[in-house]
Amino acid sequence: MTGDVGMAGVAIDSVLDMHELFDGIPLDKVSVSMTMNGAVLPVLAMYIVAAEEQGVDQSKLSGTIQNDILKEFMVRNTFIYPPAASMRVVADIMTYTARNMPKYNSISVSGYHMQEAGADAKLELAFTLADGLEYVRSAVSTGAFTVDDIAPRISFFWGISMNFYMEIAKMRAARTLWAKLIKENFNPSNPRSMMLRTHCQTSGWSLTAQEPYNNVIRTTVEAMAAVMGGTQSLHTNSFDEAIGLPTDFSASLARNTQLILAHESGLGATVDPWAGSYMMESLTQQLVDGALEIINEVESMGGMASAVASGMPKQRIEECAARKQARIDAATDVIVGVNKYQPKPGAEQPTPELRVIDNTSVREAQVAKLNRLKAERSPDATHAALRALEIAATSGEGNLLGLAVDAARARCTVGEISEALERPWGRYVPSFSTGGGAYLDEYGQHADEIEQTVAQAVDFEKQFGRRPRILVAKMGQDGHDRGANVIASAFASFGYDVDVGPLFATPAEVALQALDADVHVVGVSSQAAGHRTLIPQLIRELQEQGSSAMVVAGGVIPQEDYSQLYESGVKQIFGPGTQIPGAARTIISDLTEELSNSSSF
């Protein structure tokens, strides 16, 4: 979508982009890790072809591809195809890389995204290991592999939050549990099959837009937990995480955090430094027991693919996120500079420099490059490669990565390869429900703040004949739904009527839904920086379609963009760290004022 190109990472549309990305980087010497899931086939294929055209044979490539589709359906939302077809893609990548790319890790099973979506340590541990079990099982069941071919090539990926001892215990528990699960389920001959290797990333969610330099400290504490927990590799976040994409300065500070820990602190000199501590051993055991209970529950549902299809893991994680949000809003869980110890007015930390992406020019450059590619390639070769993919998707025969590599050589684009598979498989449409009463349960139904908010909604209904009605909308290629979910469930429990729009909507679709449901307010939740283009488009669409709904926005919106959004007609902007009951009351006050001044409600 227009507003998205280049806003959340580098744009890869064809093998030409891959060449540019790896220009001057010798791919036989540098290991590459890619967070690719939904569009994993074309992007991995283009990396292989870019290497080939650099003169590097695929057998020499080393690195890791995420290729963990199950968690996409739960929390990350970059799926394209329905679950069964998506699992075939995973299996074909495992098969192809096992045969042709001996140094390449074909899957990185991720708990990080679950934690960032709201899972606590126990849920993250349980669902991630259950995912791992499902992948090994599906590869072994093809008959082409033994557990010893597959398990040593799987790596894991944990999120590391501010819960210091818990995170170390989680990583220790993960190793114990994985060894046990692999041993009991597959009885491997190679002891490496039971080893859990992991990457870790410090938590982006724990980083705040307020007092952003405090985030350097948070990231350091989290990085220490990852090292003490025994991570094999580490990503430290930049302190401007809740503001936008990192600048060169913030990225260098994040990198230096690792260098200082690695080279000045001696932290990495001891393996499992907390072993033998009573606190750590008992915390680890509690996590082992708690996670095992959930893993057994998942197994009794038929494994993780069935559990995901039932919606159970997604729902548990969303509930956990709503509870956490309630504890933050009630200031039971302290976030320094956000709900406690706020700076005095005028004494705030300096505003960091912001990385601004000119998405119009990125888009124009990408379109020009695609036009050049299309003009120079052979239409017959392109057509044949795409047709072969479509036939393989329909018949179940052939290896999809192998065919995607042929298509990338024939200069097919990411979009064309994805569409060739979408024709027979269709596109997955997720379902959504507002997450029960978890927010209110945790906050306390009778807390003053809640009673005040509910009373305001009741007054509104008395005055205007119906409850305040909000459409919580997500637009563009922005799959972040944690913010929208917590807003929807909290607002519903305050007495709003809440409609939740689908992910990836266009402004026109949102306007239509707003009109159909006759909402008072459209609340756009935007995290992936599409707001500057998409929200003004939405306001135009609402006007053209004859809706008088008020528009408010929330999410990762830098202060620099506020005036543009206000000028385009946005009534309020609620950034990261917003206390939800307060936001709900502000919206009712604004609506009351607007509706009292107009005759139509």
Chain positions contacting ligand B12, by CB under 6 A: 7-9, 35, 75-78, 113, 116-117, 204-205, 207, 241-242, 244-245, 325, 472, 478-484, 486-487, 523, 525, 527-529, 552, 554-556, 574-578, 580, 583
**Beta carbon of residue 204, minimum distance to ligand B12 (angstroms, whole number):** 3
Reading the block at residue 108, the tokens are 């990185």
Closer by beta carbon to ligand B12, 13 or else 478: 478
Give 154 or 552: the residue with its C-beta nearer to ligand B12: 552
Shortest Cβ 572–ligand B12 spacing (Å): 7
Maximal CA-CA distance, the chain: 77
Question: Which residues have C-beta within 8 Å of that of residue 480, sequence separation ≥ 6?
Answer: 77, 474, 525, 527, 528, 555
In SS3 terms, 219-255 reads as: HHHHHHHHHHCCCCEEECCCCCCCCCCCCHHHHHHHH
Q: 3-state class of 104 per DSSP?
A: strand
**Which of these, 273, 306, 50, lies nearest to 168 by C-alpha position?**
273
**Min. distance of Cβ 409 from ligand B12 in angstroms?**
26
Residue 561: DSSP 8-state: G
Smallest gap from Cβ 588 to ligand B12, in A, equals 11
Sign of the dihedral defined by the CA atoms of residues 372, 378, 381, 386, in that order: positive
Residue 98 C-beta: closest distance to ligand B12, Å: 25
Which residues make beta-bridge pairs with 573? 553
| CB of 175 or CB of 199, closer to ligand B12 | 199
In the complex, what is the shortest distance from the CB of residue 367 to ligand B12, in angstroms, rounded to a whole number?
Answer: 21
- Least Å distance, CB 429 to ligand B12, is 15
Residue placing its CB nearer to ligand B12 in the complex, 373 or 552: 552
Shortest reach from residue 93's CB to ligand B12, in Å: 18
In this complex, which beta carbon is closest to ligand B12, that of residue 95 or of residue 525?
525
Closest approach of Cβ 405 to ligand B12, in Å? 23
Q: Quick check: 514 and 461 in contact, CB under 8 A? A: no
Is 601 in contact with 595 (CB distance < 8 Å)? yes
Least distance (Å) from ligand B12 to the CB of residue 321?
7
Query: How near is the Cβ of 53 to ligand B12 at its closest, in Å?
Result: 25
Nearest CA to 221 out of 243, 206, 240 is that of 206
Closest residue to ligand B12, based on beta-carbon distance: 554
Q: How far is the CB of 417 from ligand B12 (least distance, A)?
A: 19
Q: Which is nearer to ligand B12, 403 or 484 (CB)?
A: 484
Whether residue 580 contacts residue 490, with contact meaning beta carbons closer than 8 Å, is answered with yes
Give the residue with the Cβ less far from ligand B12, 204 or 290. Answer: 204
Q: How far is CA 510 from CA 68, 110, 300, 564, in A?
A: 30, 32, 40, 21
Question: Which is closer to ligand B12, CB of 421 or CB of 521?
Answer: 521
Task: Give the C-alpha separation, 147 to 204, whole Å.
Answer: 34
Rounded to the nearest angstrom, the gap between the alpha carbon of residue 151 and the centroid of all alpha carbons in its chain is 25
Q: Is residue 349 within 8 Å of 213, Cβ to Cβ? A: yes
- Cα 587 to Cα 116, 404, 498, 596: the distances in Å are 27, 49, 13, 14
- State which residue, 411 or 482, has the beta carbon closest to ligand B12: 482
Give, in order, the Cα–Cα distances in Å from 195 to each of 154, 188, 312, 470. 9, 11, 28, 49
Nearest CA among 36, 88, 23, 92 for reference residue 64: 36
Q: Which residues contact 346 (CB under 8 A, 6 or more apart)?
A: none
Closer of 186 and 504 to ligand B12 (Cβ): 504
CA distance 210 to 343: 9
Q: Which residues make Cβ contacts (< 8 Å) with residue 326, sequence separation at least 6?
A: 438, 439, 440, 441, 442, 443, 490
Q: Which is nearer to ligand B12, 145 or 574 (CB)?
A: 574
Q: Tell me how far apart the alpha carbons of residues 18 and 377 are, in angstroms, rounded to a whole number.
A: 17
- Minimum CB distance to ligand B12 smaller for 41 or for 147: 41
